[in-house]
Amino acid sequence: MKKLEEYVRSIPDFPEPGIIFRDVTSILQDADGLRLAIDSMQECLKGVDVDVIMGAESRGFIFGMPIAYNLHKPFVPIRKAGKLPCETISQSYELEYGEATIEIHKDSIRPGQKVVIIDDLIATGGTVQAATKLVEQLGGEVVKIVFLMELAGLNGREKLKGYDVASVICYDGK
């Protein structure tokens, strides 16, 4: 069986010279790669007491949903602002060029619930840092954060200090 890293397509000089883009779609397009990715991320949750799985739009949905299904846990989507139909809470965060806002339903997390956040990639860490604030605002506890890939050169873990963070694949660069 291939290693998960072998399913990742690396595209040099995208979106700009000197950057190597790590393409997750090449994992999704291969049944064995997809299974390996989900199983590997789920393995990071062995022994973790969890009540709720959350996934960040949109690739966090792709990986978080099957993990929630496998563990028989509810799934909470973290969406871009304006996409959820009921009452929400929101958190803004800095992007490289500007700002973004994410939201969750106000009733999606109950006080005391143990939450795992799933996403495909940690780069600068801003999206998931904002997600942790949403969970905590509703009284939940983030017990684990799992990424498929990590770009260690962007120091995203710095924004998530104090949280239990795991990544399946770690790339040294950006």
Q: Of 5, 59, 141, 157, which one is the catalytic site residue?
A: 59
Quick check: 63 and 120 in contact, CB under 8 A? yes
DSSP label at residue 86: S
Q: Of 6, 35, 57, 96, which one is the catalytic site residue?
A: 96
How far lies 85's CA from each of 81, 104, 140, in Å? 11, 10, 22
The residue assigned the tokens 């770009």 is 151
Residue 35, CB-side half-sphere exposure with 13 Å CA sphere: 5
Nearest to 104 by CA among 65, 156, 57, 69: 57
Query: Is 110 known to be catalytic?
Result: no
Contact partners, residue 149, CB within 8 Å, separation at least 6:
8, 22, 24, 120, 121, 122, 167, 168, 169, 170, 171
Query: Is 158 known to be catalytic?
Result: no
- The amino acid occupying position 25 is T
**Per the structure block, which two tokens stand in for 134?**
């949403």
Q: Which residues are catalytic?
A: 59, 96
